[in-house]
A = this chain, B = another copy of it.
Amino acid sequence: MTVLASLSRTRAALLNQAGIKVTRDPARIDETEIKAFNRRKGSEAGVCAMALAEAKALTITARHPRTLVIGADQILNCNGTWLDKPRDRDDARGQLRMLRGQTHELATAVCVARDANVIWHEIQRPRLTMRNFSDTFLDGYIENLSRDDMAAVGAYRIEGRGIQLFERIEGDYFAILGLPLMPLLEFLRGQGELSQ
């Protein structure tokens, strides 16, 4: 059994749907401090996402000896500005106004740790371009925001109504949802965790 060091329901669902049995054991880490440190250092978003993913995985390996622990994180980077999950509807509206008509990157990191060591990691950087939607469209979108939408950076999920925000999507669908699934599956096969 593999452990997922993340609270994300989407990531757990991605793994379960792919036939991978994981238990969730969310790690509590100080994301704000790690992000602030990486901003001061001038790290690119992918490096910071990986630092967060590794911190999550390493935090809980001690509780799961000789077990593979998956850590993951994602940072939305739009022209150098990094977005967090929206605090409320007004914040969601502000994020979407900022993203409108622009291309942003979803720096998505996944790692696997065992017994205090990171033994594998991968970063993917899908790029998404929002169309120049109208304020009327935005009002309707904000009015119908779900709890799941609010739990996503950028306040969108492309597997839902969020797809209407976009004019162009480049990169792996699973990475956009928060987990570079195919390279992770390949690693797990190599470890004998999945049938070859």
Question: Interface on A for B, CB 8 Å cutoff?
Answer: 17-19, 133-134, 136-137, 140, 144, 159-161, 163-164, 166-169, 172-174, 181-182, 185-186, 194-196
Contact = CB atoms under 8 A, between A and B. Distances in A.
A124 to B, nearest CB: 13
Indicate how many identical chains form the complex.
2
A134 B166 contact: no
Pick from A19, A134, A168, A172 the residue with the most CB of B within 10 Å: A19
Given A18-B163, A160-B18, A134 B182 contact: no
Contacts of A195: 133-134, 136-137, 140
A185 B173 contact: no
A18 B159 CA distance: 7
A166 B182 contact: yes
A133 B173 contact: no
A87 to B, nearest CB: 24
A196 B18 contact: no
26 contacts: A17-B159, A17-B160, A17-B161, A18-B160, A18-B161, A18-B163, A18-B164, A19-B160, A19-B161, A19-B164, A133-B195, A134-B195, A134-B196, A136-B196, A137-B195, A137-B196, A140-B195, A163-B174, A163-B182, A163-B185, A164-B194, A166-B182, A167-B182, A167-B186, A168-B182, A169-B172
